[in-house]
């Protein structure tokens, strides 16, 4: 789904048949300027979506970003301004802020994890635990925060997880089946126990995902793998533990919280007549 369609649906949900309050209180010819104001330290993402919101409401509304995608901003920073008809600005205000606050929140949390593993080889990845229909935007926000997006959908990569393994019969069966079906596609295999690693690599795994391992277990697993394939870690990793996983030698650390638990950034849109 493209941005315009997402914006259309969001406005349809919020505005419905019309903005009753604005139409009743604001003169039709009133012009205004609105400033997006960061009220906390954050990483910028999503201003282009806000611009699309305002264009969809009234093509005369123009948003000029003052901060680029991925830029760090401190509290009190002006992120951008929108100018044009006041009625349209008020009507699009909440939808625009919802997008920007959500996406800045994802980018900001991602940056915290990225900063926490600075100096190691580990790279922070997202997962498919995204808000329905917002995946592309949320994954872009992860990139803005310095993270590395994982597969965008089930048709983009092969990741064999525990349920696939149980239904296929074993790690080896699942991996061999995937390799046979898609010989040119990287096959990543999730393992829950050290003894599954050799079976997965022997069957053709191109990457190992260590699920719910403690840092010491990750270190042992990486020693056994010996650099034959890249290693990803997932499962319950937090800001307080991510550094230990990175120092254990993981190439990638997948964190669902980047998208399923990121708090919205505190941003306001201060509007005044001009």
Q: Which of 19, 190, 232, 251 is catalytic?
A: 190
Provide the token pair at 85: 């008809």
Query: What's the CA gap between 99 and 265, in Å, rounded?
Result: 10
Q: Which of 161, 173, 199, 220 is catalytic?
A: 161
For the question of residue 59 being annotated catalytic, the response is no
Who's near 38: CB < 8 A, 6+ residues apart? 73, 74, 75, 76, 77, 78, 79, 104, 265, 266, 267
Q: Which of 211, 219, 247, 266 is catalytic?
A: 211
What is the Cα Rg of the chain in Å?
A: 23
CA dist list (Å): 80 to 31, 50, 123, 258, 272: 17, 10, 30, 25, 14
Own/partner long-range contacts of 238-243 (Cβ < 8 Å, ≥24 apart) = 239/112, 239/113, 239/116, 241/215, 242/113, 242/116, 242/117, 242/124, 243/116, 243/117, 243/120
For the question of residue 161 being annotated catalytic, the response is yes
CA-closest candidate to residue 185, choices 204, 203, 163, 164: 204
Upper half-sphere CA count for residue 35 (Cβ side, 13 Å): 11
The sign of the dihedral angle between the CA atoms of 217, 223, 224, 225 is positive
Who's near 40: CB < 8 A, 6+ residues apart? 75, 265, 266
For the question of residue 94 being annotated catalytic, the response is yes
For the question of residue 211 being annotated catalytic, the response is yes
Q: Which residues are catalytic?
A: 94, 129, 161, 190, 211
């Amino acid at each position: 789904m493209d941005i315009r369609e997402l914006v259309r649906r969001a406005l349809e949900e919020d505005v419905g048949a019309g903005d009753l309050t604005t139409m009743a209180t604001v003169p039709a010819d009133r012009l205004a300027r609105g400033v997006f104001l960061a009220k906390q330290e954050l990483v910028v993402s999503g201003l282009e979506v806000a611009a699309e919101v305002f264009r969809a409401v009234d093509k005369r509304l123009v948003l000029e970003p003052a901060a680029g995608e991925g830029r760090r901003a401190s509290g009190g920073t002006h992120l951008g301004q929108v100018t044009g008809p006041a009625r349209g600005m008020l009507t699009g205000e909440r939808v625009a802020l919802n997008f920007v606050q959500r996406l800045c929140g994802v980018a900001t949390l991602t940056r915290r994890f990225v900063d926490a593993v600075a100096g190691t080889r580990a790279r922070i990845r997202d997962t498919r635990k995204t808000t329905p229909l917002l995946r592309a935007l949320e994954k872009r926000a992860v990139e803005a925060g310095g993270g590395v997006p994982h597969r965008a959908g089930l048709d983009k990569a092969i990741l064999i997880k525990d349920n696939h393994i149980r239904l296929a019969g074993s790690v080896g069966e699942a991996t061999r089946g995937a390799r046979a079906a898609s010989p040119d596609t990287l096959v990543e295999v999730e393992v829950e126990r050290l003894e599954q690693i050799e079976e997965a690599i022997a069957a053709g795994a191109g990457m190992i995902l260590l699920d719910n391992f403690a840092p010491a277990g990750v270190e042992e697993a990486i020693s056994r793998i010996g650099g034959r394939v890249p290693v990803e870690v997932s499962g319950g990793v937090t800001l307080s533990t991510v550094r230990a996983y990175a120092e254990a030698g993981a190439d990638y650390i997948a964190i669902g919280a980047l998208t399923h638990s990121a708090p919205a950034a505190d941003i306001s849109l201060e509007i005044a007549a001009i």
